[in-house]
Amino acid sequence: MDQIAQSANLAVEGTAEQLDVLERKIAGKYMGIVPWGAVIWGIGNCLVFVSLFPLVLFDVLPVWLAFPVATLNVMLSYLPSHEAQHNIIAGRGKPLRWLNELVGHVSTIPLVYPYRVLRATHMEHHAHCNHPELDPDFDVHARSSVDYFFNFLRNVQPGSARNGAYRRCLERLGQGHLMLDALIYEGVYLLVMFTMAWCGYAIEAALLWWLPKLIGQYHLLYYLSWAPHHPGEAQGRYQDTRAFKSRLGNIISAGMQYHIIHHLYPRIPLSLTPAAYRELKPILLRRGCDLGGL
């Protein structure tokens, strides 16, 4: 609480240097903490998702009940990997590094997104946020939520330019070989879908993976890419990301109301961004950040 009062005072009276020091000091308090919740979440969520297939195929669980569970699994699958992409669970050379990489690889299986591709392209998103050519997530931007819906429909079409965005980004980085991961993930996904469909389980395949994956992608891109970077025009440390108040609350919006904290300090675990935001808010206001009434 003292820190909040101090930051509020400094935000009004302090020099730019004092503000920098205080900002880093506050952020530092929230870094270097292993997010065990994200570890359990990432691996547990994937295990639940995978277990739905035998449960449905052996008639233990009705498919109408498995569908919302699978959808929830897909929607929840990205964020633990996101923690791993930023080395929040354990950095290079640390004893728990294997766990960081395990969570990164395993948690996005339901979304059919390969970890190494996500990590490389996501770092580019951070480095060039809202840059029309260099931000690989730039084409998610849309003028409104309604436009986002139509933009999403266009982006998931086979001929969409969005399909090649990550490949182009990786080739620019000299890491085009990582696209092999994407081919393997997508290939295995298609083989599972085709096999289930031709064995008489097409409806089950659609409700366990195909539709949940589409819904999960829509949710993920809306809350992680579109909403916190809207309108996607400004660049710069304090301008490229905003805070916003979600009508559906912080959990359904995947904790992204506080995404501005993540872009300023990517090593702060997701679960601690609300507390960090509250402490840093006066400084962010002084910086002229868009806090969206949060």
Partner 1 sequence: MQQLIKVFFSPMVFALGFLWPLSTQLVLETGLVANGWAWVVGVLVVLPFALMAQIRGSWIWIK
Q: Which residues bind partner 1 (CB under 8 A)?
A: 150, 153-154, 157-160, 183, 186-187, 190, 193-194, 197-198, 200, 202-203, 205-206, 210
Q: Specify the residue, 45 or 155, whose C-beta has the smaller distance to partner 1.
A: 155
Q: Specify the residue, 10 or 207, whose C-beta has the smaller distance to partner 1.
A: 207
Would you list the DSSP string of 35-69?
-HHHHHHHHHHHHHHHHHHHHHHTTSS-HHHHHHH
Q: How far is the CB of 153 from partner 1 (least distance, A)?
A: 7
Please tell me the distance from the alpha carbon of residue 82 to that of residue 225, in angstroms, as a whole number.
Answer: 13
Q: Specify the residue, 52 or 193, whose C-beta has the smaller distance to partner 1.
A: 193
Q: Specify the residue, 159 or 174, whose C-beta has the smaller distance to partner 1.
A: 159
Q: Specify the residue, 12 or 65, whose C-beta has the smaller distance to partner 1.
A: 65
Report phi then psi at 193, rounded to 5: -65, -45
Q: How far is the CB of 157 from partner 1 (least distance, A)?
A: 4
Q: How far is the CB of 198 from partner 1 (least distance, A)?
A: 6
Please tell me the distance from the alpha carbon of residue 209 to that of residue 215, in angstroms, as a whole number.
Answer: 10
Q: How far is the CB of 212 from partner 1 (least distance, A)?
A: 15
**Residue 3, SS3?**
helix
Ramachandran class of 87: left when φ > 0, alpha when ψ lies in -120 to 50, beta otherwise: left
Please tell me the distance from the alpha carbon of residue 133 to that of residue 155, in angstroms, as a whole number.
Answer: 16
Q: How far is the CB of 245 from partner 1 (least distance, A)?
A: 32
